[in-house]
Amino acid sequence: MRLSRALPSRPRVGAAVSGLVALGALTACGGSESAEEGDSAGSGDPLVVYVGRDEELVGPLLEQFGEETGIEVDARYAGTTDHLALLLEEGEQTPADVFLSQDAGALGALSAAGMARDLPAEITDAVLPDFTSTDGSWVGVTGRARVIAYNPEAVEEAEVPTTVAEVTDEQWRGRVGVAPTNASFQAFVTGFRAAEGDDAAGAWLEALAANDPQTFEGNSDVLEALENGVVDLGLINHYYAYQLAGEVGEENVATELVFPEAGDPGALVNVTGAAVLSEHPDAEELVSYLVSEEGQQYFVDSTYEYPLVEGIEAPAGLPALTDLQGPIEDLAELADLETSIALIDEAGLS
């Protein structure tokens, strides 16, 4: 009976087989395409850039760079941590020429692995010395300040803590939003440890955890929770609120920001930055473009981050970068994430 039912399906076999052949051709195509790419290895190679930042933000700038210089840029986007894992896995064989990182820690780790090449002084000297590598293995591109964000419908400005220590106060029980697994929070904890020691940082994390905070995946989730009134305080980076205002209009954003006191662990200013990973002749040109007047102005206008080159105005409404004093001198100290992640883990926040 099965037989009689199946026999009329003979033509479908033909169809399926020809479909398979077509698919085989497709895969073969894919293969040869990439082989061509491999063959073209030589002088006219496109500049391969691993970007650990949003395509929406960085894409237009890289396009602009390509148009102005005629350099062909091949940008690959993924999260900064994914890229770090990928780069460490690829090692010497990485096709990447430049890495644009979302934070200083990943650049420090890359540099510690010996993958970042020394940059010429004219690039590293272009930016404020507090906001770049101390050994010239990578360069800071933009600054991102940690802030205590609050919803003014729930909290008076005068009541808002100005140090992270106050955030663990009983009155904020269950009202604080954090993104403890996010790279920006991990960097903040690393800065905390570097400035005040592992024990102090661990004790603060325990106190925060004991205060029943609400945890989120990313800064924008914390911001959304602030906007929705799910939390009243949030520890985030400054520009998220600005970007949201740019997206939906300033009048539609309730959240306000407080910049913690100078020297407070919560006042960390982390940087995004770039490292050169190969001898590609155009790699340094891209990095130098990022710290040029044009590149810096682009970031100010579209990402609301701090420029790191003197003479470029910060986004309107922000306190001056030089007035913000973070807890640490050398941002490379942010590379030591291991213990931070372990501490966050142990506190039960992850």
Instruction: Tell me which residues in 193-222 interact with another protein (CB under 8 A).
Output: 215-218, 220
What six digits make up the tokens of 27? 């895969």
Give the residue with the Cβ less far from another protein, 54 or 310.
54
- 34 scored as a contact of another protein (CB under 8 A): yes
CB of 250 to another protein, least distance (A): 13
- 27 scored as a contact of another protein (CB under 8 A): yes
Instruction: Tell me which residues in 293-312 interact with another protein (CB under 8 A).
Output: none
User: How far apart are the C-alpha atoms of 151 and 230, rounded to whole Å?
Assistant: 10
Is 164 in a helix, a strand, or coil? helix
Ramachandran region of residue 174, left (φ > 0), alpha (ψ -120 to 50) or beta?
left
Among 2, 44, 158, 320, which residue interacts with another protein (rule: CB under 8 A)?
2
Q: Which stretch binds another protein (CB under 8 A): 131-139, 157-165, 199-207, 236-244?
A: 236-244
Q: Which residues pair with 49 in a beta bridge?
A: 75, 98
String of b and e for 193-212 (b: at least 16 CB within 10 Å)? bbbeeeeebbebbbebbebe
Is 108 in a helix, a strand, or coil? helix
Give the residue with the Cβ less far from another protein, 9 or 171.
9
Total interface residues for another protein by CB under 8 A: 73
Among 163, 278, 288, 350, which residue interacts with another protein (rule: CB under 8 A)?
350
Q: Give the distance, in angstroms, between the CA of residue 11 and the centroid of all CA atoms in the same chain.
A: 54
Among 90, 166, 256, 285, which residue interacts with another protein (rule: CB under 8 A)?
90
Among 45, 64, 79, 166, which residue interacts with another protein (rule: CB under 8 A)?
79
Give the residue with the Cβ less far from another protein, 41 or 158.
41
Nearest to 51 by CA among 301, 243, 290: 290
Burial of 124 (0-12, 13-18, 19+ CB in 10 A): buried
Among 122, 228, 263, 319, which residue interacts with another protein (rule: CB under 8 A)?
228
Write the binding mask 48 to 67 for another protein: x where contact by CB under 8 A, - elsewhere.
Answer: x-----xxxx----------
